[in-house]
Structure 1
Amino acid sequence: MKYYYLIAAVLFITACNQPPKVELNVKATGIASGTVIINQNNQELLSQNIKDGDATISKAFEAPGYFNITILDNTKPLSAKNNFEVYLENGSYTIDVKPNSKGIYPGITTTSQTQQQLSDYYKTENELAGGLNHTIDSLLIYLDTREAKALPKKAHTALTDKTRGYQIKRRKLEPEILTAYVAKHPDNVVAAHIMAQQYLDEYPVEYNSIFKKLTEKAKSTDDGVKITNKLSILTNLLPGADAPDIAGFTPDGKAFDKKSIRAKVILVEFWTSTSQLSEMNHSKMLNALILSDGDKKNFKMVSIATDANKQTWERAVKLSQLTWSQVADFKGDSSPNVANWQIKTNPAYFLVDGQWHILKANIDLADVDQFVHDYLKKKG
């Protein structure tokens, strides 16, 4: 009898020491033979076979978090795989993947509140962008076929441009989807995670407005902190904001002082001597960037090079006969100018007023004349 109690006690202690697990029951109707793969941070953590539409996974993860799940049907090409994101924490999950549902978020039953919030986000996304997602996915699949690759060049280019247009339209929807989601679920933490994965640079005003509506709990997550840091830089480039400082020296070796440039409108250019486009645009800036004589009187330019080599920069300035203010700090991509002004490509152009407030960030050079004319006309 003593041995019975001893064995029972050992079993009880062992059970208590077992780490809690995530219990996944994947229902993939229609997949007779397939695979479930779980990834995190682009690293495969495990895979499990699907047999007759079912797969069961029992796994103790190091910590709860966001994971990516891939469902493969062994009878179909790899392009037919279904990818989706889940939030896994200790407990049970039933994931119902419907047949031919690539791109559609599966039904997930669980007690995890974070996963429930994540499911609600993707439900909102499907309501607002599901049709567009399907169109883009279908076009991308077709573009990869032999039939599409055999199209005449003009037809293939037109199809590619059409696809790109849909992708641009889809990116514009991202802040709208988040806005709708936050309105439905103001107490969620998932919005910060979703936002951290999106390209905030494209719509900083919209994303900043959404972020202000999130709870302090969401803002204090790792994703929330990342967004705070990112938006703190991007909002510096919003219209009306004080323009970031410019570090560097003029060709005569003097430290640049932005107060030395006096005009109602100032074009700030970022360029590099190795950029052919920069060189081509300098010709426009020298000759006929601003058309009206009245506008020319109230307009000046300053160019900040992102070169690392002083001699290369000096030679480029001399060869191109650049007559306006030139600045460089010779730190290349490590320059604080690159970070503070969020320079992703060269050349890049910004318009500021005489007090160095941002008027327009990342403006196309072709639009500068009209913008300057309209601005000065409005100012009288």
Structure 2
Amino acid sequence: MKFPCIILLGLLVAAGCKKQANVEFSGSIPGLNAGVFTIKTLGDSTVYGENIKDGKFAIPQKHLGRPGYFKLNITDDAKNDGHNPFEVYLEDGKYTIEAKADELYKYPKITSTSKIQEQLSMFYTLADNMSAETQLQIVKINKNLTDNVNKLSPDAYTALLTKLQEYQSKMRDVNATAFKQFLKQYPQSEISAHILSKLDYEGDPVTYYAIFKSLSPAAQSSEDGQEIGDKLSHMIKLVAGKQAPVLEGKTPDGKTFDPKSVHKKMIVIDFWKAGNAFSRKNHDQVKSLLAQDGIGKKVEFISVSLDSKSDWWTTALKDDKLTWTQVSDLKGNDSPNAANYNITEIPTYYLLDGQWNIIVPKIPLKTLEFEISQYLKKH
């Protein structure tokens, strides 16, 4: 009768003695007089932070909580180069950070005992070494577009977008090559699917799906692996040149939508919801596009609502004065249209030719006019 008590006592002692995860940081960034080092959650909440003075910073031991992925960033108070934060994996231990003041857009050198962080550093450093100039140009162009959006002439804006697309395509190719090299060193990496999920696989799903199929069984069956595998298996059916899925639903007057009723050179499909303010605001830009003779006469816009209630949909149509083709099956997020077009966020836009072949899948609205004009010039 005493054994249960002894066992219970042992469990309590073990639980009380369980080591808690703590982290501490020290960093060196020669040439950076004043800046900030931050660690944030993936949801963008700051966890740790420290000012950088004369190229040095330190954060003494802090409670970590649960080990996992976080975002690390180093910024210069004197200038903003527009780079994105870096993904890191934190677990119990010390992390030493090294970077260069004039290359803060590059993944920093991170020294720790974490095997997962070792793999992250290996891939991102490899990718940086292969794409340093390309990455820098993307940062510069994005900053130029953001800072001077109201100052650039239409031709200058178009030229920048063209250059940006060229560099982004080059970056995808470089990342694919770097990832293949990473797999040679870590063929059984269980986080390889996680790393792959962070890359721009949507820009070239055929190449990245082939890479995904080469991952270890453990990586493919991981949570990240299952998610990205499912996405890519759908996306390879939605690449440029493929026949677009048939749209299902009815128009506001209750008639079944007939794709054969569309007889224009191009088609833009707009997925939206009445309750999504961003997608409704974007309809103002659609109106501006339709007002242009070269577009309004040659391009058919079809807005596909993912609403589930008829009155929400029809009220929004009237309030926003949407006069172009409108379609909905009123099945909400369970709509076959959402599944068939792999819609994971709204608004989402697809650009098709007059035969319903995909020209550009999931195209940003800001580049829609550019892509339309480029296609119409060639055809």
Normalising by structure 2, report the TM-score: 0.64
For the 8 Å contact 1:136–1:163, the answer to whether it is kept is: no
Structure 2: distance between partners of 1:70 and 1:157: 34
Distance, in Å, in 1 between the alignment partners of 2:316 and 2:70 is: 50
5+ residue gaps, structure 2, are 1-12, 272-282, 306-312, 362-370
For residue 46 of structure 1, what is the amino acid of its counterpart? Answer: Y
Distance 1:28 1:142 in 2: 26
* Alpha-carbon shift at residue 251 of structure 1 (Å): 7.9
Which secondary structure does the structure 1 equivalent of 2:20 belong to?
Answer: coil
Which range moves more in the overlay, 87-96 or 360-369? 360-369
- Superposed displacement of residue 43, structure 1: 0.5
Contact 1:27–1:55 (Cα < 8 Å) also in 2:
no
Q: 2:169 aligns with which of 156, 169, 172?
A: 172
More displaced stretch, 204-213 vs 16-25: 16-25
1:309 to 274, 291, 314: 314
Aligned equivalents of 1:192 and 1:232: distance in 2? 14
Taking the aligned partners of 2:349 and 2:36, their CA distance within structure 1 comes to 47
Partner Cα separation in structure 2 for residue 134 and residue 369 of structure 1: 31
User: CA separation in 1, counterparts of 2:219 and 2:33?
Assistant: 41
Q: Which SS does the other structure have where 2:231 is aligned?
A: helix
| TM-score between the two structures when normalised by the length of structure 1 | 0.64
In structure 1, give the amino acid aligned to 2:314.
N
How far does residue 120 in structure 1 lie from its aligned partner after superposition?
1.6
What SS does structure 2 have at the residue aligned with 1:309?
A: helix
> CA contact under 8 A between 1:178 and 1:210: conserved in structure 2?
no
Q: Equivalent residue for 1:63?
A: 66
- Per-residue displacement from partner, 1:179-234 (whole Å, max 9, x unpaired)? 22232222234543343234443322222222222223323333323322322332
CA contact (8 A) 2:71 2:86 kept: yes
| Alignment-derived partner of residue 38 in structure 2 | 37
The one-letter code sitting in structure 1 at the alignment partner of 2:96 is T
Go from structure 1 to structure 2 and tell me whether the alpha carbon gap of 1:175 and 1:80 turns closer, same or farther (over 3 Å shift).
closer
Partners of 1:180 and 1:90 in 2: CA distance: 32
Residue 221 of structure 1 corresponds to which residue in structure 2? 222
The question of whether the paired residues in 1 share the 8 Å contact of 2:24 and 2:61 is answered with yes
Alpha-carbon separation, structure 2, partners of 1:143 and 1:245: 36
Q: 1:13 to 1:28 in 2, by over 3 A?
A: farther
Q: Is residue 251–residue 327 contact of structure 1 (8 Å, CA) maintained in 2?
A: yes
Q: Give the equivalent residue in structure 1 for 2:117.
A: 115
Residue in structure 2 matched with residue 270 of structure 1 by the alignment: 269
1:25 correspondence with 2:26: yes
Helix, strand or coil for the counterpart of 2:128? helix
2:100 aligned with 1:98, yes or no? yes
Aligned-partner residue type, residue 212 of structure 2: F
Cα distance in 2 between the residues matched to 1:70 and 1:267: 43
Q: Equivalents in 1 of 2:52, 2:157: separation in Å? A: 36
Partner of 2:358: 360
Secondary structure of the corresponding residue to residue 79 of structure 1: coil
Provide Cα deviations, 1:324-347, integer angstroms capped at 9, x if missing partner.
Answer: xx7732649855424522576687
Q: Quick one: distance in 2 between partners of 1:311 and 1:54?
A: 53
Q: Which residue of 2 aligns with 1:246?
A: 247
For the aligned residue pairs, the C-alpha RMSD in angstroms reads: 4.7
Query: Where do residues 51-200 of structure 1 align in structure 2 (5 Å cutoff)?
Result: 53-72=56-75, 76-77=77-78, 79=80, 83-138=85-140, 163-186=160-183, 187=187, 188-200=189-201
Per the alignment, residue 367 of structure 2 pairs with none
Q: CA deviation at 1:109?
A: 1.9
CA distance in 2, matches of 1:28, 1:208: 38
Distance 1:311 1:50 in 2: 50
Aligned counterpart, 2:279: none
Mark the CA change 1:271 to 1:50 in structure 2 (over 3 Å): closer, same or farther: closer
SS at match of 2:236: helix
Q: Map Cα deviations across residues 124-153 of structure 1 (whole Å, 9 max, x no partner).
A: 2222210122344456667888xx89xx95
Shift of 1:241: 6.4
| Unpaired stretches in structure 1, ≥5 consecutive residues | 1-11, 287-302, 321-325, 372-380
Give the counterpart letter for 1:192 in structure 2. Answer: A
1:283 counterpart letter in structure 2: K
Higher Cα Rg, which structure: 1
Q: Distance in 1 between matches of 2:237 and 2:328?
A: 21
Q: Distance in 1 between the 2:290 and 2:342 partners?
A: 18
